[in-house]
Amino acid sequence: MKFEFIEELNQLKKFEKLTDKERSIVFYAENKASINHYRELISEITEKEGLQICYVTSVKHDPILSSKNKNILPFYIGNGTARSKFFLTLKAKILIMDMPDLEIFHIKRSKVYPVHYIYIFHSMFSVHSYLRKGAIDNYDTVFCVGEHHEKEIRETEKLYKLKPKKLLKYGFGRLDTLLHKKQEFKQMGLDGEKLIIIAPSYGKDNLLEICGIEMIEILLKANFSILLRPHFKILEDPKSKIKTIRKKFENNPRLIIEEGVIPPEKFYNSICMISDWSGISLEYAFVMEHPVIFIDVPKKEMNSESKYIKCEPIEISLRNKVGNVISPEDIKNIPHIIENLNGIDSCFNLEIKNTCKNTVFNIGNSARIGGKYVKDLLYELG
């Protein structure tokens, strides 16, 4: 632990010794998922725009740390003292990150330099419902997924009399990545395996806690294979039922518990996703154009004042457009619903496709839009 602490501080010192030009554009990765939202934008900025970036991460085995891209300068700073100092003393023109709650808790804006902070969403869901109050208020620019984010942010600024932020019609980088890779992995096949992905959100009322064990038993009995991808906080929660599930089904090869990113060959060759309020549900629906089965458990409330924003959260308004909402009491019917998905796919396909088009900006093209914005902003900041 002491050696790791020293190494993190050494990495920070190495970062701080860079020239102002080398530190002009900085990405910060909080967790393993961050790179999924940055990948195409980083490629656009460093390869197509030819700009150099610093990539500062709290992920010990972040793949970018071993990148061969000469325009990426990577640094690992952990999530302790070195990270706190990094934020407080940052000297950069632009910092790009997907971590909300800037200035609200321990992560602060730089006290020594007028850094321009850009926020990238890690979910397509609505700002006021899936994030805490004030989560993105202290950013200068927000890369919006769709028109809903623009409306919600402007409504929030009006309600709380906040300084207007710059809003970019960006899109969703993670969606673009998944769409670009779809054909590559779709052709691999899973030898006829009827694979179901279960993706619960985090919260005391998530589907695993409410009906997870019973649902897994029902699906296995119906000869489905299951890839269970819990939210990372579920895996860390000693009170969650994940340990019980591991023990109960440890000898069943048709249940896989995935602790990281869902393997592409599994994602693209699955036949259905079951979720509750996880943001991955919209990603799956828009990429696969399959209806998602939503277990109707109580929605976790992140913002007690969300009701004052007169915009219905899209995770509520889009549910019936991209899937089937099922009561926990009716989970015995899920195998029948899944078996009949092929029959209703043709009806759902066009609606899901149109819903995606009407919800997300610049589908397949977000990186180009974001890269140009960053390049222009860098020139504007001088």
The CATH number that applies at residue 350 is 3.40.50.12580
pTM of the full structure: 0.94
The per-residue pLDDT for 259 is 87
Q: Is the pLDDT of residue 199 over 90?
A: yes
Instruction: Tell me, yes or no, whether 222 lies in a domain.
Output: yes
The per-residue pLDDT for 192 is 60
Do 89 and 238 belong to one domain?
no
Helix segments in 27-80, DSSP class H: 34-43
What pLDDT band is residue 328 in, cutting at 50, 70 and 90? very high
Do 321 and 271 belong to one domain?
yes
Do 133 and 194 belong to one domain?
no
Q: Is the pLDDT of residue 320 over 90?
A: yes
Which range has the worst mean pLDDT, 7-11, 226-230, 344-348?
344-348
Q: How far apart are CA 27 and CA 96, in angstroms?
A: 5
Do 89 and 23 belong to one domain?
yes
Do 122 and 79 belong to one domain?
yes
Q: 114 to each of 52, 111, 256, 285, 352, how far by Cα in Å?
A: 20, 8, 47, 40, 43
Report which of 382, 377, 363 is spatially closest to residue 45, judged by C-alpha positions: 377
Do 160 and 43 belong to one domain?
yes
Q: How far apart are CA 41 and CA 62, in angstroms?
A: 17
Tell me what the pLDDT averaged over the chain comes to.
Answer: 93
Instruction: Tell me, yes or no, whether 156 lies in a domain.
Output: yes
Which range has the worst mean pLDDT, 31-40, 343-352, 366-375?
343-352
The residues near 284 (Cβ < 8 Å, ≥ 6 apart) are: 197, 199, 267, 273, 275, 290, 292
Instruction: Tell me, yes or no, whether 136 lies in a domain.
Output: yes
**Tens of pLDDT along 1-26?**
667 889 999 999 999 999 999 999 99
**Tens of pLDDT along 163-189?**
999 999 999 999 999 999 987 776 565
The per-residue pLDDT for 162 is 98
Do 229 and 346 belong to one domain?
yes
Instruction: Tell me, yes or no, whether 32 lies in a domain.
Output: yes
Asked if 17 and 54 count as a contact pair (C-beta separation under 8 A), the reply is no
Asked if 215 and 245 count as a contact pair (C-beta separation under 8 A), the reply is no
Q: 257 to each of 96, 196, 228, how far by Cα in Å?
A: 32, 12, 5
Instruction: Tell me, yes or no, whether 192 lies in a domain.
Output: yes
Asked if 172 and 360 count as a contact pair (C-beta separation under 8 A), the reply is yes
Residues in the chain: 382
- And the tokens for 111? 């006290």
Query: What range defines the domain where residue 306 resides?
Result: 182-359
The sheet with strand 255-257 has its strands ordered as 255-257, 225-228, 195-199, 272-275, 292-295, 323-326
Could you give phi then psi for residue 275, rounded to 5 degrees? -145, -175
Count of structural domains, the chain:
2
Asked if 266 and 194 count as a contact pair (C-beta separation under 8 A), the reply is no
Taking each helix axis from N to C end, the angle separating 341-359 and 280-288, rounded to the nearest 10 degrees, works out to 110
Do 292 and 165 belong to one domain?
no
Asked if 363 and 175 count as a contact pair (C-beta separation under 8 A), the reply is yes
Instruction: Tell me, yes or no, whether 375 lies in a domain.
Output: yes
Instruction: Tell me, yes or no, whether 245 lies in a domain.
Output: yes
Do 203 and 113 belong to one domain?
no
Do 204 and 114 belong to one domain?
no
The per-residue pLDDT for 1 is 65
Do 265 and 160 belong to one domain?
no
Do 52 and 186 belong to one domain?
no
Which range has the worst mean pLDDT, 30-39, 103-112, 228-237, 280-289?
228-237
Report the CATH number that the domain containing residue 368 is assigned in CATH.
3.40.50
- And the tokens for 29? 């990765």
Instruction: Tell me, yes or no, whether 177 lies in a domain.
Output: no
The residues near 84 (Cβ < 8 Å, ≥ 6 apart) are: 106, 107
What pLDDT band is residue 191 in, cutting at 50, 70 and 90? low
The per-residue pLDDT for 202 is 87
